Amino acid sequence: MALLESQRSLKAGDAAPGFDLMGIDGRRHALPEYAGREGLLVIFMCNHCPYVKAKIDAIKAVHERFGDRVAVVGINSNDAVAYPDDSYEAMKAMAAERGIAFDYLVDETQEVARRYGATCTPDPFLFDSSMRLAFHGRIDDAMGPEETPTERVMEAKIAAMLEGRPLGADFDPSRGCSIKWRQN
């Protein structure tokens, strides 16, 4: 398992890169679908990564707390041929098993991950109501799958954004497994 931290590619204020991807609900989902919300949280994630598995409940808590105001979207960009646990069918099974109610999309070409500059799973990007990057960083302060979080970083950033308060640092790297890129 290659461990990485997210890298700063998009900067605060950059527009959310577009996407049009298939969801586990059998429908295509595109960036404009989420316009009109007070925010958008895009999380590059997968099924097999122990870091993602450790954060699923925290991600679900963000969705439960803010989902009526901030859209939460998971995107799996891993090479499902080399990593069958990250296949579309496995995504549907994992979502059902873990009770994921937010949109979970597959980035088969990996182009969306490249446009965002995503490097690891999970790699979260928080956009404001104008679809401009407000924060790129961790879900919480637990940096290993076995650690217990003491600070809910993303929840605090979203709350500040929705209340019009300063968010502080706009980049606080997440840590996780590397995105499993296709070999050319």
* Whole-number pLDDT of residue 1: 56
Region 83-91: mean pLDDT is: 97
Query: Is the model's pTM score more than 0.85?
Result: yes
1-31 pLDDT, tens digit per residue, is 566 788 889 999 999 999 999 999 999 999 9
Question: What span, in angstroms and rounded, lies between the C-alpha atoms of 67 and 39?
Answer: 9
Instruction: Specify the DSSP element, H or E, that contains 29.
Output: strand 28-30
100-149 pLDDT, tens digit per residue, is 999 999 999 999 999 999 999 999 999 999 999 999 999 999 999 999 99
Identity at 121, one-letter amino acid code: T
- Reply yes or no: is the peptide bond before residue 166 cis, omega within 30 of 0: no
* Whole-number pLDDT of residue 151: 96
